[in-house]
Amino acid sequence: MNTLPIGVFDSGIGGLTVLAALSRALPHEDLLYLGDTARVPYGTRSPETVTRYSARVASHLYRRGVKALVIACNTATTHALPTLTAAGAAVGVPVIGVVKPGVDEADRVSRGRHVAILGTEGTVRAGRYQAALEARGLRAEGVACPLFVSLAEEGWIEGDVPRLVAERYLGGLRGGPDTVILGCTHFPLLRPIIQAVLPGVMLIDSAEATAVATAKALGEAGLLRGDEGPGRRDFLVTDNLERFITVGRTFLGQPPEPAMLVDLDEAVGPFHEPPAR
């Protein structure tokens, strides 16, 4: 069991920032990433549709064999975490989402007890982050920043355009929250721009917080593998492999390879042979 990979699931490309953080926190673990690029983006879809798509991806990863599942997508975590946690429990696989780790970190660091959450329309409208923050006595507000996703995918992460977009979305937050959660996996790419528009504000990267939470959960469950050299990274996508590799480079710092196209409904056996070492 401990030699199985950790499954990392995202709607598309953004989850690569979570995979990068997991690589740093858990360098010896094998990571199997699945980006549902045939149905991306999840951020503008209804909760029912996001849950249906997410369950289909998770089921595919369970059939391939994973020892844990990280939902590296804020929208999928927001809508589908209860469903995926129940399905994971049925096959003995712990499921970690990106919302709670970010909220925990905000709760830990916010001095002013006032937190803003930046996300997609779906994440912000659902209000899951805001409810979790308020349950801990923090004041919370959400700002939907859908253009940040397009800017990150276009690679326009510095210069006039992202600065103006950030100013328009976030200018109204100045003098308000002392802590801001980057509640979409695309947003860490725009971190310098966001910080420039909101100087002095503490930015929380939910990818980093999730990697730390995953390491902790695996340790507690006795699921960590030992130091057997660097882990493998494998990438699966449901459409447009070429674009995934090209655009993914911006998110991961290197091309996400080896990558292959999968049909979620195809019969699959265990994907991962433990590599000879």
The site for a second copy (CB under 8 A) is made up of 37-40, 44-46, 49, 121, 146-147, 149-151, 153-154, 156, 160-161, 164-165, 168, 239-240, 243
What is the strand order of the sheet 259-261 is part of? 95-96, 68-71, 6-10, 31-35, 233-237, 259-261
CB of 221 to a second copy, least distance (A): 36
73 is catalytic: yes
CB of 242 to a second copy, least distance (A): 8
CB of 13 to a second copy, least distance (A): 10
145 is catalytic: no
CB 142, CB 169: distance < 8 Å: no
**Toward a second copy, which CB reaches closer, 125 or 232?**
125
Q: Is 210 exposed, middle or buried (0-12, 13-18, 19+ CB in 10 A)?
A: buried
- The catalytically annotated residue of 66, 73, 84, 252 is 73
CB of 158 to a second copy, least distance (A): 13
CA dihedral of 92, 69, 73, 97, whole degrees rounded to 10: 60
**Toward a second copy, which CB reaches closer, 159 or 199?**
159
Inter-CA distances, 154 with 13, 181, 264, Å: 12, 22, 27
Reference 253, options 199, 195, 188, 201; nearest CA is 188
**Toward a second copy, which CB reaches closer, 193 or 211?**
193
- The catalytically annotated residue of 4, 6, 182, 184 is 184
Strand partners, 205: 182
DSSP 20: H
**Toward a second copy, which CB reaches closer, 228 or 242?**
242
Kindly list the catalytic residues.
Answer: 73, 184
